[in-house]
């Protein structure tokens, strides 16, 4: 950008009709002080933009740079909390309670960071802020437009993130596909960002898809070329292109894409299918994409002082040891996951990841058998048939009536056959209901979420609980402390800690009126709210491994630091 324009942007007021450069710049922010990497997707959704972004960010983090990721989503929802998993995969919950896209889980796992609502935005959030400001007269009579006001708000959020995180590099993932009407303003904002921040402070990456029709027996690049052309039409010249494909992309295809997109061949990389997403950083490292990014962003001598080759080598070695645990396994087990959304694996992305982390640590290949509880409930199969070849079962979170009886039947089978059991959120509640029915003799025991008039409502929303932490009828969301009872399995699993912090996403609790009866019959509540009579971990100590938790431990599992409940679950499955 020329000096005159830069000077104008530095001094500009955010609310004026004297100039077209409406660019709210946070106090203390200097143009060019932060580097940005922007990842776009073309041809189709689901290419793995989040995995690429996290993998590249991981390589830069290993070099010693501080990274802050952000996902810009195109839908009008304020957050992801109301989305059906069939529509958008798993809802991931951050420590501050933000319900967001599953890619935020990928970022947290790869980068070993606890992110916040600053790392996620949607059209709903952007438009809400703009309309609220407009109603208060915040634009001083200007007609509020996509350009410059919506794009300005997007850039403002990115710069606020740069300030609050003090990151060297912001990794920006643009949700959706180039050509979608819902993300055009994001793409335009990125073009403006590069214009304002300066030529060497923004790196554009395009993911595209290489088709390989079985009838032809060769890879075809035309769809990828046309997708990238759509990006060029919107003023974005990619610096790097990653080509997704079933098999390694041939040199011939990479040459074609390079020539038609004006991207050097050395910056066109194959991102083909591999056995684990955690192998992607190695692919990018092998292609020297991390070095290309440093070159594109013109890291000068001062920037390079942050880079530490020795530390990078040590970090990459640790990552390699984790990968070795995945590839060079010594044992193999099958774990059953009983759920309603088993036809879409992304619905349980964090559970799959947590099992992979535990498996790597124990050098075990953890296979998953997806068990459709609807089929059990509708008598299309039996519990015994479905669970005959699994070493343990997980009953995951969920909502609503569908599949409940199928889940309870699976819990009963696990308890009666001493099969390792891990109940997550709804799975915790199902374990309470099953125990109350079949051990305590309360045949109609249920949750008021499903049966509002049941006499023995062992799971309920209680009036006194509605007042706690401002719950009302809303979700209990985000990080909360859990007090662990000494001498229990949970106490040993968590390294003899009396307090831990976990992430919650639920409305219903164990009804305190029934706790004495449940405990009298052998159920131990080994984790509870520090102040209130809210149960958060249960166990059956006479069994090999039977644990339920009201929280989602998978949200805190990391590749190099497996979550303790999952690690112990897999250990017991191996036995």
Q: Is 552 a catalytic residue?
A: yes
Q: Tokens representing 83?
A: 């989305």
Q: Is 174 helix (H, G, I), strand (E, B) or coil?
A: strand
Q: Is 440 a catalytic residue?
A: no
Question: Measured between alpha carbons, how far is 295 from 288 in angstroms, rounded to an integer?
Answer: 11
Please say whether the beta carbons of 542 and 529 come within 8 A.
no
Q: Per the residue annotation, which of 99, 502, 509, 554 is the catalytic one?
A: 554
Identify the helix (H) or strand (E) that includes residue 565.
helix 564-574
Q: Is 369 helix (H, G, I), strand (E, B) or coil?
A: strand
Question: Measured between alpha carbons, how far is 173 from 189 in angstroms, rounded to an integer?
Answer: 13
Q: Tokens representing 289?
A: 């994409």
C-alpha of 35 from chain center: 23
Q: Which of 422, 433, 390 is nearest to 547 (CA)?
A: 422
Q: Is 160 a catalytic residue?
A: no
Please say whether the beta carbons of 313 and 285 come within 8 A.
no
Task: Name the DSSP letter for residue 260.
Answer: H
Q: Which of 278, 187, 281 is nearest to 234 (CA)?
A: 187
Q: Per the residue annotation, which of 100, 425, 549, 573 is the catalytic one?
A: 425
| DSSP code per residue over 512-523 | GGGHHHHHHTT-
Task: Name the DSSP letter for residue 558.
Answer: B
Question: Measured between alpha carbons, how far is 182 from 123 in angstroms, rounded to an integer?
Answer: 8
Please say whether the beta carbons of 152 and 22 come within 8 A.
yes
Q: Tokens representing 16?
A: 């004026």
Q: Per the residue annotation, which of 552, 563, 568, 573 is the catalytic one?
A: 552
| DSSP code per residue over 188-256 | HHHHHHHHHH-TTSEEEEEEEE-B--TTTTS-B-HHHHHHHHHHHHTT---SEEEEEESSPPPHHHHHH
Residues 6+ positions from 333 with CB-CB distance below 8 Å: 364, 365, 366, 367, 391, 392, 570, 573, 574
Identify the helix (H) or strand (E) that includes residue 257.
helix 251-261
Please say whether the beta carbons of 537 and 431 come within 8 A.
no
Annotated catalytic residues are 425, 552, 554
């Amino acid at each position: 950008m020329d000096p005159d324009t830069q000077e104008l942007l530095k001094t500009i007021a955010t609310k004026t009709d004297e100039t077209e450069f409406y660019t709210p710049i946070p106090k203390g922010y200097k143009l060019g002080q932060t580097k940005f990497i922007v990842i776009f997707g073309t041809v189709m959704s689901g290419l793995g933009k989040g995995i690429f972004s996290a993998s590249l960010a991981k390589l830069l983090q290993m070099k010693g740079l501080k990274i802050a990721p952000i996902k810009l989503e195109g839908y009008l929802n304020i957050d992801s909390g109301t989305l059906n998993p069939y529509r958008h995969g798993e809802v991931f919950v951050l420590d501050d309670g933000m319900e967001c896209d599953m890619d935020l889980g990928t970022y947290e796992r790869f980068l070993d960071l606890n992110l916040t609502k600053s790392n996620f935005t949607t059209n709903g959030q952007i438009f809400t802020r703009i309309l609220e400001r407009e109603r208060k007269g915040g634009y001083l009579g200007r007609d509020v437009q996509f350009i410059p006001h919506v794009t300005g708000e997007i850039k403002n959020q990115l710069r606020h993130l740069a300030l609050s995180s003090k990151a060297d590099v912001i990794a920006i993932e643009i949700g959706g596909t180039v050509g979608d009407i819902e993300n055009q303003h994001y793409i335009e904002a990125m073009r403006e960002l590069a214009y304002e921040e300066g030529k060497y402070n923004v790196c554009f990456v395009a993911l595209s898809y290489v088709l390989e029709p079985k009838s032809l027996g060769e890879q075809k690049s035309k769809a990828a070329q046309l997708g990238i052309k759509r990006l060029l039409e919107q003023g974005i010249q990619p610096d790097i292109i990653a080509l997704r494909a079933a098999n390694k992309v041939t040199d011939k295809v990479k040459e074609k894409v390079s020539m038609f997109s004006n991207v050097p061949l050395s910056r066109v990389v194959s991102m083909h299918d591999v056995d684990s997403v955690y192998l992607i950083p190695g692919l990018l490292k092998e292609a020297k994409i991390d070095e290309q990014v440093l070159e594109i962003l013109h890291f000068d001598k001062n920037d390079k002082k942050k880079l530490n080759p020795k530390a990078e080598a040590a970090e990459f070695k640790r990552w390699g040891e984790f990968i070795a645990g995945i590839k060079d396994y010594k044992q193999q087990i099958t774990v059953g996951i009983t759920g309603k959304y088993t036809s879409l694996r992304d619905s349980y992305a964090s559970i799959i990841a947590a099992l992979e982390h535990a498996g790597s640590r124990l050098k075990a290949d953890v296979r998953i058998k997806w068990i459709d509880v609807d089929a059990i409930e509708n008598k299309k199969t039996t519990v015994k048939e479905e669970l005959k070849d699994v070493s343990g079962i997980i009953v995951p979170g969920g909502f609503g009536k569908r599949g409940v009886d199928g889940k309870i039947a699976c819990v009963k089978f696990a308890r009666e056959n001493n099969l390792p059991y891990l109940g997550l959120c709804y799975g915790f509640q199902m374990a309470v209901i099953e125990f109350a029915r079949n051990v305590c003799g309360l045949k109609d025991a249920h949750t008021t979420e499903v049966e509002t008039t049941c006499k023995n409502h062992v799971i309920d929303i209680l009036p006194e609980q509605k007042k706690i932490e401002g719950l009302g009828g809303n979700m209990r969301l985000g990080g909360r402390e859990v007090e662990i009872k000494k001498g229990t399995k949970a106490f040993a699993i968590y390294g003899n800690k009396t307090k831990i912090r976990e992430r919650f996403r639920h409305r219903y609790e164990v009804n305190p009126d029934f706790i004495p009866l449940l405990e009298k019959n052998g159920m131990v509540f080994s984790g509870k709210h520090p102040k209130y009579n809210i149960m958060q971990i249960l166990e059956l100590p006479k069994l090999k491994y039977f644990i339920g938790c009201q929280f989602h431990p998978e949200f805190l599992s990391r590749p190099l630091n497996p979550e303790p409940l999952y690690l112990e679950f897999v250990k017991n499955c191996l036995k």
